[in-house]
Amino acid sequence: MDVAKFLVQKSEPLNGEVVISGAKNAVLPLMASAILAEEKCIIRDVPALRDVDVMKDILRSLGSEINELEESIIEINTEKILKCEAEFDLVSKMRASFLVMGPLLARVGRAKVHMPGGCSIGARPIDLHLKGFEALGAEIIVKDNYVEAIAGPQGLVGNSIYLDFPSVGATENIMSAAVLAKGTTYIENAAEEPEIVDQANFLNKMGAKIKGAGTDTIKIEGVESLHGAQHTVIPDRIETGTFMLAAAITHGQILIKNVVPDHVKPITAKLRECGVTVEMGDEGMYVIADNPDLVATDLKTLPYPGFPTDIQSPFMAFLTTVNGASTVIETVFENRFMHVAELNRMGANIKTDGNRAMIQGAKQLEGAQVIATDLRGGAALVLAGLVAQGTTEISEIYHIERGYEKFTDKFRGLGANIFRIED
């Protein structure tokens, strides 16, 4: 692991425009879904991220050919799948690598994946994925360090599957397994995130028959085979939310381009409650926070279309700086407050009790040496550093770079004092 750090210094209000990249949480399942095609697929607006590189390596290890056609455009050729096992050293780097399991199971009837890695933000069990595969007729073998799924002699067979929790990963994995199953599959209590809709749209372009993506019940009629397709990744709503908060915390004015307003409705609503102006124009979304007296609000994370857990920590950094007390309740991941100790080290006043954080706002933050404990927690520390007196030194930034493309370039383009240094 490299030992690069971010140095962030108190900045003027951010000003200018920024273009949002393709969504990390959409592109990874799209790349995995390409395994299902017996021809080439082309994906556009692919962000240059570590996680994308890991997924490329996993697909290559299975026999895919991947070509970079232009910046942010890749061609994936999965005509030949040579292996059905995802290698441990790749899978251990990223949790989303588990998303190759459904497509492999559907395409070649067998999939073996080592237990996944990724951010340490709580238990994200894979039992819902496996329950879904089992309902489609697969035999599941779970060992200490790997899990294997084997389709029966008849292949996968459609079924009704109820998810105990609307898991995004399980919905994506089961949906991609079911597209080649015999008969019809229903996924009930499915995740409704925009990334699910994006994957369903891609699969449908490949010849799948999926209806209801974006609602709590998805219907999938199995087909014989899938062909190649071209697709453009949706904009990253979490990156959008991060820059909305960058404008808010610095009392700046930012034009955010390549935005789907519906995808960030809960973030927009909460920022407006705090006194921030958010407006859509012809060019994109304007976020204007020139009101000097922004106020606190309470928030509770929920599965989409509720407030996104991925924006909870950046929003908390903002809440430390506004007038009043606020409460943040985290219902999605039980270990999502690891950034609190780091923000408190910078002078924030945050107390936690289980899944509840109480924030006393209007604090002048102070620069400090802090650690990016996870991807979004790291982004929260950068936002805090923009308004903290002095210099904030953030280590373990590989977490942040897993999920944000051209992170320092985009912030510096808005006037932020942020530098990436190699130790």
125 is in an annotated binding site: yes
Residue 265 annotated as lining a ligand binding site: no
**Residue 126 marked as a ligand binder:** yes
Q: What are the DSSP E strand ranges found in 56-193?
A: 65-70, 73-77, 85-86, 110-114, 139-142, 146-150, 160-162, 184-188
95 appears as a binding residue in the annotation: yes
Q: How far apart are CA 197 and CA 226, in angstroms?
A: 18
- Is there a contact between 210 and 220 (Cβ–Cβ < 8 Å)? yes
Cβ-contact 83, 110 below 8 angstroms: no
Asked if 35 and 180 count as a contact pair (C-beta separation under 8 A), the reply is no
Residue 229 and residue 191 in contact, taking contact as beta carbons nearer than 8 Å:
no
* Active-site residue, 41 included: no
261 a known binding residue? no
Residue 222 amino acid letter: G
Q: Pick the catalytic residue: 41, 84, 119, 274?
A: 119
Closest to 378 in 3D by CA, of 6, 1, 3, 4: 6
Residue 37 phi, psi (nearest 5): -85, 145
Question: 407: which 2 tokens?
Answer: 């992170």
Element (H or E) spanning 44, and its range?
A: strand 40-44
User: 218: annotated binding-site residue?
Assistant: no
User: Is 124 labeled as ligand-binding?
Assistant: yes
310 is in an annotated binding site: yes
Residue list for the binding site for UDP-N-acetyl-alpha-D-glucosamine:
95, 124-128, 310, 332
Q: Which residues are annotated as catalytic?
A: 119
Residue list for the binding site:
24-25, 95, 124-128, 310, 332
Residue list for the binding site for phosphoenolpyruvate:
24-25
